[in-house]
Amino acid sequence: MEKALGVVLTTGGLMVVVSGGAATAESSHAPHTGTSAALRQQPITMSDLTPGFTLAGSPNQVVFREGAVTLTVRTPDPDGYSVSVRADSAAMRPARGGNPDRIPVDRLAVRKTGTATFQPLSSSSAVTVHAQDTRSAPRGDNLSTDYRVSIPFVRSDTYRVILTYTATTR
């Protein structure tokens, strides 16, 4: 299951806004080994994804928001699941035409709420923000991620990038 979010960063008052996306796909397990292979599909759902968040700051400032994105993951799969996030481009682009500045997406970092280490986002590989070896709670597991951005010396503007959250069974 994937859901995409739009992230907007505004400098001069830097702002990151996440806005909703569409859900796709269902995850599955690989076939069992033996004389006959059976494909066992376990449904997984991701819901209640935060419709938006904002970070505001000035160039050369580090801005942080705890619990910026929340979501609920539900699966009966006894082997558990993981949740990851990936940026759709290598840089956040300005909204204003004529502004040549870009903010590298690796200046935007994510962590699971309650953990210590932020991981920089990437457009080439997903960052795992949650993994567990058991099924979710019957009504789903509520998850939360924090975001931090290190704003470079750029023009005041609104900068955008799309993030994709993915939940997969294990």
Domain-wise residue ranges, the chain:
2-25+42-169
User: Does residue 51 register a pLDDT over 50?
Assistant: yes
Q: In sequence order, what are the beta bridge partners of 11?
A: 57
Alpha-carbon Rg for the chain, nearest whole angstrom, is 18
The answer to whether residues 150 and 141 touch, using CB atoms and an 8 Å cutoff, is no
Measure the CA–CA gap between 142 and 164, rounded to whole angstroms: 18
Q: Tell me the fold of 2-25+42-169.
A: Immunoglobulin-like (2.60.40)
Say which DSSP state 8 is in.
E
The closest alpha carbon to 157, from 51, 57, 18, belongs to 57
130 vs 166: which has the higher pLDDT: 130
In which element (H, E) is residue 144 found? strand 141-150
Q: Please report the pLDDT score of residue 10 as a whole number.
A: 53
Average pLDDT of the segment spanning 9-34: 37
Q: Please report the pLDDT score of residue 57 as a whole number.
A: 81
Q: Which band of pLDDT confidence, cut at 50, 70 and 90, is reported for residue 38?
A: very low
| pTM for this prediction | 0.79
Average pLDDT of the segment spanning 9-31: 38
